[in-house]
Amino acid sequence: MPKSTLQLLVQGMSNNDTVGGATPSHQQEMQAINAQLWGTGDNGEDALPVPLVWRQYQMTMKLCQEWKEEQFAQAIKKRREQLAEHEAQHHQA
């Protein structure tokens, strides 16, 4: 039975030692491409810049979190002051 050109191409790319037909050289090539696109993380920067919208989102979320923490701290302080005032009134009576 004659083999088609596609069958020959696929057989030439497959590797019997690996599952799924990915060869070690193919995996290395893909890792190199990923490193070029996304960065290695070694220098702390990504190869692709983070979109401005994402940076704005992150800043907004950070500011919201800081605001919530500040509001929570103020509420605790106010409640402690109320309790201390209540205690002081009851001890005077």
pLDDT in tens, 28-50: 888 888 777 766 666 655 555 66
- Decide if 9 contacts 15 (C-beta within 8 A): no
**Co-location of 43 and 79 in the same domain:** no
Task: Specify the length of the chain in residues.
Answer: 93
In terms of residue numbers, what domain contains 28?
A: 21-49
Considering the domain boundaries, does residue 11 fall inside one?
no
**Co-location of 57 and 93 in the same domain:** yes
pTM assigned to the model: 0.41
What would the pLDDT profile of 1-22 be if each residue is shown by its tens digit? 455 555 555 555 555 555 556 6
Task: Return the percentage of the chain with pLDDT > 90, whole number.
Answer: 31
Q: How many domains does the chain have?
A: 2
pLDDT of residue 1: 45
Instruction: Output the average pLDDT for the chain.
Output: 76
d(CA 93, CA 91): 6
Give the CA-trace dihedral at 67, 72, 74, 79, to 10 degrees. 160
What would the pLDDT profile of 46-75 be if each residue is shown by its tens digit? 555 667 788 889 999 999 999 999 999 999
- Decide if 38 contacts 48 (C-beta within 8 A): yes
